[in-house]
A and B are shown apart, each in its own frame.
Chain A
Amino acid sequence: MISKGATRNSNSRRIKFARRFVSALLHMRNQNPRPGSLSIEGSVRTRSQRIKIAAYLSMAQAVGSRRAWSRAVLSKLGSRARRHMRRMGRSSLGSLKKKRVIRSYSPGELGQAKKLRQLVPGGETMDICSLLEETAHYITCLATQVKVMQTLADNFSK
């Protein structure tokens, strides 16, 4: 079912994601010279958090501003947002959120739509139609990112 064009697209996307992710990882590694101040588990957790954030960030950067979800991720995770977070605490994020739009007309889907909105970044202010579109793109990008990370992890563990 996947045409040649789709595989080519997916490959180029994968390469883009991979490059960005790897550069983010390297950047992070260079930023973090202190070896063992924390416990092993604690440091691993922090590092895994950072790696996770780097993954999402690189994914959103690779997509750019074309998609609503990537814009939401970038606004949340951008360097300015991070500084915001550190200085002013989490309350600043509330000001960044837009006003809530009236949601879907079909009444039966609200429960699932709500869950989906929470899952997909930037999905709070979208109607069902665009939410589904964003979800589709988000799924493809997440899948690509997972593949990239998987290959990386496989390389390192071998």
Chain B
Amino acid sequence: MDGHENEGILQCPSSGMSTNPLPEKVSGMIMNSVSMYKHSNGADPFFSSGWDPLVSLSHNENFGGSSMVSHREFASTPYPIVLENQGISGTSHLVQYPSSSTYVELVPKLPCLGSGSFSDMVNSFGLPECSQIVNSECPQNYASSKEDGTGRTSTNGALSQDDRQMSGEGAVGSSPNAKRRKRVSDYNNSPVSPRQNAAGETEKDLSGQSSDVQKESDEKKPKTEQNPGSNFRGKQTGKQGKNASSADGFKENYIHVRARRGQATNSHSLAERVRREKISERMRLLQELVPGCNKITGKAVMLDEIINYVQSLQQQVEFLSMKLATVNPEQNVDIEQILSKDIINSRSGTGAILGFGPGTSSSHRFHRGTFQGTLPSISSTTSKYPLLPQTVLDNELHGLFQVGFDSCPAVDNLGSNGHFKPEL
């Protein structure tokens, strides 16, 4: 049974990993374009004049975060309402544009997200030529947006190859395929090498992603920092950390999830993937907590180790409580002082916990007999092992559990319940 579990568990990550290189590159292109726009902004007067008044509109700061602040020149922020409505369609357009590489198309790309409202805004700012382009381009985009997710992926795939050639950098991101409203994808805004061609799509990208970011659930804030990590399966750069921090400020009610390239976009499978990633995240945390589990890969073995560790800790508590019970209670006059001194002194010496192995095993043997005689020997053995090597620890753990299963009346309380029976 354990073998099967391992297979199932280990296959999943590998299948996930195989699809990663492609979306990485596709998104790399997008990342490039993101920074491209930023850099071109200063260079091209058109952009600065065209977008600044739009930017001045966007002081809602719905997006919050440093990412938006850093890319303030982007006009993505003025369109929170627009993007919410067409968040899904927005990203689908992103990949379709990079092949057309004139800056004139920059303007229509953004408005296609919300053609009506943007054209109004554009008109108000006196950019008539833009609005015409908007109207011409937008119907085409909307028609394409109504394709299936699979259809989009195919077109995206074709275009992404062109895109890869365009960009030279392989920044991390996720593929702009079918987007689902399940989880945050906050991989936007990583500054990458500048390029004017895909500047328009950077806006789109940002706007689409900002809509993603907007829709982050507020209760997931501490976990969103880890979301990019789990999304990208550990391929984080320093920019990712920045994105994570930028995502903290958002407060929305539902979560956005993006299906990666080549993966099923069924809502069920997406939910499962989110769940699996959460679980693997927690398992990683636990791996750090439990000593001697750095080399273990696989949920089943890890869970076994965790169970063993918890059991051993509980047995330690039991043993120590017995030890304390045998101590003469009249001695604790200066308990607080002793305790504070010891705690401060033992800040560095954290070997006490690791020295439990021999101590507890011997205690169980002496369990039924007299305690007083054995106590000094036990304390001496514990002091001998300030830092137990990991292999020895494993052996001790195994020894412990064999010993622990002996029939001892007090230990039986721990047995199946796990912690205690409060019988007084």
A residues whose Cβ falls under 8 Å from a Cβ of B = 1, 7, 11, 14-15, 18-19, 22, 25-26, 29, 41, 44-53, 55-56, 73, 76-77, 81-82, 85-86, 105-106, 108-109, 111-113, 115-116, 118-121, 128-129, 132-133, 135-136, 138-140, 142-143, 145-158
Alpha-carbon gap, A75 to B128, bound state (A): 70
Is A142's CB under 8 angstroms from B9's CB? no
Q: A1-B288, A140-B289, A147-B353 are in contact. Are A118 and B418 (CB under 8 A)?
A: yes
Residues on A with beta carbons closer than 8 Å to the beta carbon of B282: 129, 132-133, 136
Task: State which residues 391-422 of B face A: CB under 8 Å.
Answer: 409-410, 413, 416-420, 422
**Beta-carbon nearest neighbor of B287 in chain A:** A136
Give the docked Cα–Cα distance between A29 and B330 (Å).
9
Partner of A48, one of B309, B313, B356, B410: B410
Known: A18-B343, A48-B326, A50-B325. 14 other contacts (CB 8 A): A19-B336, A25-B332, A48-B410, A49-B321, A52-B321, A108-B5, A112-B304, A116-B307, A118-B418, A129-B275, A132-B285, A139-B313, A151-B346, A157-B379
The answer to whether B420 and A48 have CB atoms under 8 Å apart is: no
- The closest CB in chain A to the CB of B320 belongs to A149
Contact flag A132-B418 (CB < 8 Å), given A44-B322, A108-B5, A116-B310: no
B299 touching A119, Cβ below 8 Å: no
Residue of A nearest to B336 (CB): A22
- The residues in B between 345 and 362 inclusive whose CB is less than 8 angstroms from any CB of A are 346-347, 350, 352-353, 356
- Complex interface: chain B residues within 8 A of A85 (CB): 422
How far is B75's CA from A132's CA once the two chains are assembled, in angstroms? 42
Query: Are B286 and A139 touching (Cβ within 8 A)?
Result: yes
Query: With A51-B325, A109-B5 as given contacts, are A15 and B419 in contact (CB-CB < 8 Å)?
Result: no
B375 CB contact (under 8 Å) in A52, A53, A76, A157: A157
> Considering the chains assembled together, what is the distance between the CA atoms of A82 and B328 in angstroms?
27
Please, what's the 1-or-0 string for B194-224, where 1 marks a CB less than 8 Å from any CB in chain A? Answer: 0000000000000000000000000000000
Known contacts A29-B329, A45-B409; A105/B272 CB under 8 A:
yes
A106 to B352 Cα, complex, angstroms: 37
Whether A150 lies near B5 (C-beta < 8 A) is no
Instruction: Select B307's contact among A46, A48, A82, A115, beta carbons within 8 Å.
Output: A115
* Closest chain B residue to A104, Cβ basis: B279
Please give, as numbers and ranges, the residues of chain B lying within 8 Å of A46 by CB-CB distance. Answer: 424
The reply to whether A47 and B317 form a contact with Cβ atoms under 8 Å apart is: no
A151 to B382, CA, bound (A): 11
Are A138 and B310 in touch, CB under 8 angstroms? yes
* Complex contact B329–A55 (CB within 8 A): no
Please indicate the chain B residues that have their CB under 8 angstroms from the CB of A55 in the complex. 317, 320-321
Q: Given A109-B300, A132-B283 in contact, is the A48-B9 Cβ separation under 8 Å?
A: no
Bound-state CA distance A133–B281 (Å) is: 10
Q: How far is the CA of A154 from the CA of B375 in the complex (A)?
A: 10
Could you pull out 11 A-B pairs where Cβ atoms are within 8 angstroms?
A14-B343, A56-B420, A81-B422, A85-B422, A105-B275, A118-B416, A121-B419, A136-B285, A142-B313, A150-B382, A153-B323
B8, B278, B418: most-surrounded residue (chain A CB, <10 A): B418
**Distance (Å) between the CB of B23 and the closest chain A CB?**
25
CB B45 to nearest CB in A, in angstroms, measures 47
Q: How far is the CA of A112 from the CA of B265 in the complex (A)?
A: 31
Residue from the list A19, A106, A129, A156 in contact with B327, Cβ < 8 A: A156
B413 proximity list for chain A (CB < 8 A): 49
- Assess whether B376 is interfacial by the CB under 8 Å rule: yes
Residues in chain B within 8 A of chain A (CB atoms):
1, 4-5, 8-9, 272, 275-276, 278-279, 282-283, 285-286, 288-290, 299-300, 303-304, 306-307, 309-311, 313-314, 316-318, 320-329, 331-332, 335-336, 338-340, 342-343, 346-347, 350, 352-353, 356, 368, 371, 375-376, 379, 382, 409-410, 413, 416-420, 422-424
Pair B324/A51 contact, Cβ less than 8 Å: yes
Partner pick for A108 among B300, B347, B409, CB 8 A cutoff: B300
Known: A116-B306, A150-B320. A49 touches B353 (CB 8 A): no
Cα distance, A106 to B316, chains bound together (Å): 32
Q: Which of A7, A22, A113 contacts B335, CB < 8 Å?
A: A22
| Contact in complex: A153, B379 (CB < 8 Å) | yes
B418 pairs with A120, CB closer than 8 A: yes
State how many angstroms separate the Cβ of B99 from the closest Cβ of chain A.
42
Known: A119-B418, A149-B324, A157-B327. A52 touches B317 (CB 8 A): yes
Residue of B nearest to A21 (CB): B339
Given A116-B303, A116-B306, A129-B275, also A149-B327 (CB < 8 A): no
- Which residues from A are CB-within-8-Å of B422? 53, 76-77, 81-82, 85
**Chain A residues in 8 Å Cβ range of B313:** 139, 142-143, 146
A52 to B416, CA, bound (A): 17
Knowing A51-B325, A105-B275, A118-B418 are in contact, say whether A150-B336 is a contact too (CB < 8 A): no
Q: Chain A's nearest CB lies how many Å from the CB of B355?
A: 8
Query: What is the CB-to-nearest-CB distance from B377 to chain A, in angstroms, rounded to a whole number?
Result: 10
Whole-angstrom distance from the CB of A89 to the nearest CB of chain B? 11
